[in-house]
Structure 1
Amino acid sequence: MEKTFAEAMDFRHACKIFDETKKVSDEDMKFILEAGRKSPSSFGMEAWKFLVITNEELKAKLRPACWDQVQITSCSHLVIVLAGIEGVKPESGIPEKRFSRREMPKEKLDFYLGLYAGHLKNTLSSDENIFAWTAKQTAFAAGNMMIAAAIKGIDSCPVEGFDKEKVEEILGLDTKKYQLSLVLPFGYRINEQSKQQREKFEDIVEFIK
């Protein structure tokens, strides 16, 4: 039975140990990945890619590079969230393709491309700056995937504890095109969740009228 959004928010937590005997169905995994694919991105560039790993040998190989965290191998599906690098550069031709989806006149397309290149001049000046920009956006996709999973009663755990270069090396990534942003395991909890700890609403939210 699917959960409401509010129920999913209460259900979701950073699952540390998954039940290795339970596997997420292909249908549910597609639901989760679609939530990531349809997430918002700056200028609509969709500068990300999701690698879905179920190969147990590869998961075992990645675990030491992820601070030996058990959820890397105990999860059902290990999603590697990559941040795009080359595809956001104007010279790649991909930004033009993204803008062209809006079916606008050539002069308007040129205007948007000029605005894009000008506004992001500093951001696009190095791969390091690009990664800082695109990796930040992958948080939108990751957050939506985790909530989509929770709606289905599926657990997740966002992992930033890893040796970035080592994981990229193991995966054989062309880091000129994509770089590692986040490791995101999905599966089913083996233990009951402890009560979610959050600060009070009035301490976090301030209304300015």
Structure 2
Amino acid sequence: MSEFTEAMAFRHACKKFDIEKQIPQEEFDALLEVARMSPSSFGMEPWRLIVVRKPALRKALKSACWNQNQITECSELVVFTTDNDTVRSGTPYVRKMFERRGLPQDAVDTYMGVYKNYLEPIECDEVLLENWTAKQCYIAMSNMMTYAATLKIDSCPIEGFDKESVEAILDLEYGHSVAVICAFGYRVNPQSEQKRLELKQIVQYR
């Protein structure tokens, strides 16, 4: 198998982390860089990552995350948040993200128009906007988890949490919301056998 397919076979939702084993800072920095380099819709990079290391803060988060042990036992805990108001159509942030491509002003204006036409039906509903920005976070998280597996670092994506409680504990700014949480570290128990549908069950050719 290639290194990538080996990583896919290695990766699983690790439920029990070795509390004595920490990810080297250099390797964790590389994981964060993978998130930074990940693609996003229109290149807006709506994600903002919070690395939670303080034991007291993790303990508080655990109670808001269905008391899952991964929250306090993992080596690194990454909370993916979204900056929803910043990516609304017409904001200076959006224009800056298009201008950084070095395009002529008329091309930037064209992109701003295309973006507005796409986003207006979404941003009129806060839930739709949060769903759209959260999708981008999942791309970054998925890339982090797969790259982590190439380094033999385990991970566990966590969606089981009380969103409002987590946001209150982290004291997020207005307009920011929690999309998903991911724990990284090293497994204690052997990996269970992967169960997946056959390719023919999930793929159609038309």
Q: TM-score surpassing 0.5?
A: yes
Matched, 1:12 2:11: yes
- Contact 2:17 2:70 (C-alpha < 8 Å) held by counterparts: yes
1:168 counterpart residue number: 167
After TM superposition, list the pairs within 5 Å mapping 1:188-203 onto structure 2: 188-203=186-201
Counterpart-to-counterpart distance in 1, 2:60 and 2:17: 18
Letter in 2 for 1:190: V
Counterpart-to-counterpart distance in 1, 2:116 and 2:205: 36
Is the deviation greater in 181-190 or in 51-60?
Answer: 51-60
Equivalent of 2:204 in 199, 203, 206: 206
After TM superposition, list the pairs within 5 Å mapping 1:51-200 onto structure 2: 51-176=50-175, 178-200=176-198
1:31 counterpart residue number: 30
Following superposition, the deviation at residue 44 of structure 1 comes to 0.5
SS at match of 2:86: helix
Is the deviation greater in 165-174 or in 132-141?
Answer: 132-141
| Count of residue pairs brought into register by the alignment | 205
Counterpart-to-counterpart distance in 2, 1:87 and 1:69: 32
Query: Alignment RMSD, CA only?
Result: 1.2
- Contact 2:48 2:80 (C-alpha < 8 Å) held by counterparts: yes
Displacement over 4 Å in runs of 4+: none
For structure 1, list consecutive stretches of 5 or more residues without a partner in the other structure: none
TM-score normalized with structure 1 length? 0.94
Letter in 2 for 1:46: E
Counterpart-to-counterpart distance in 2, 1:199 and 1:128: 31
SS at match of 1:120: helix
Counterpart-to-counterpart distance in 1, 2:34 and 2:195: 26
Counterpart-to-counterpart distance in 2, 1:205 and 1:126: 33
TM-score normalized with structure 2 length? 0.96
What per-residue deviation string (whole Å, max 9, x for no partner) do you get for residues 59-111 of structure 1?
Answer: 11110000000000000000001122011113431010000011111111111
Counterpart-to-counterpart distance in 1, 2:165 and 2:187: 28
For structure 2, list consecutive stretches of 5 or more residues without a partner in the other structure: none
Counterpart-to-counterpart distance in 1, 2:12 and 2:185: 12
Between the two proteins, what is the percent identity of the paired residues?
Answer: 43
Letter in 2 for 1:166: S
Letter in 1 for 2:117: G
SS at match of 1:174: coil
What per-residue deviation string (whole Å, max 9, x for no partner) do you get for residues 151-186 of structure 1?
Answer: 10000000000000000000000131x100001000
